[in-house]
């Protein structure tokens, strides 16, 4: 697996996406805590893999383009990149909750 650099712009966009339009943001944060605890060995804490966010490559590509982020050409690289940043976004959300 290649070492990945964190794209803070992408992390922020994913955080906003996870938390937007939620009627109960505390419930979402509790779910994120549960996923992180149960799936701590997964880079996305299975949040992406279980279909909680943008399940299709075309949706991820559109999301990247909408946020002005370069889109990887390969589906596998795109998925790995997105999963990594979903995990970073979850870490960021939960670190704000713990403050």
For helices 25-38 and 8-19, what crossing angle results, to 10°?
120
pLDDT of residue 21: 65
Is position 78 within any domain? yes
Domain assignment present for 2:
no
pLDDT digits (tens, 9 = 90+) for 43-96: 999 999 998 899 999 999 999 999 999 999 999 999 999 999 999 999 999 998
Instruction: Please report whether residue 3 resides in a domain.
Output: no
Q: Give the model's confidence band at 1: pLDDT under 50 very low, under 70 low, under 90 confident, else very high.
A: very low
Task: Note whether residue 61 is domain-resident.
Answer: yes
For residue range 2-30, what is the model confidence (pLDDT) as tens digits?
Answer: 567 899 999 999 999 999 866 888 899 99
Count of domains for the chain: 1
Asked if the structure places residue 1 within a domain, the reply is no
pTM: 0.91
Whether 18 is in a domain gets the answer yes
Q: With respect to residue 63, please indicate whether it lies within any of the assigned structural domains.
A: yes
- Domain, as residue range, for 41: 8-98
């Amino acid at each position: 697996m290649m070492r990945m650099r964190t794209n803070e712009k992408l992390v922020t966009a994913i955080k906003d996406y996870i938390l937007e339009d939620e009627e109960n943001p505390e419930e979402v944060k509790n779910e994120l805590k549960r996923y992180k605890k149960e799936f701590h060995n997964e880079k996305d804490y299975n949040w992406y893999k279980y279909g909680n966010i943008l399940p299709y490559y075309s949706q991820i590509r559109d999301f990247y383009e909408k946020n002005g982020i370069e889109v990887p050409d390969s589906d596998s690289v795109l998925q790995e990149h997105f999963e990594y940043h979903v995990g970073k976004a979850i870490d960021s959300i939960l670190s704000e909750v713990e403050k």
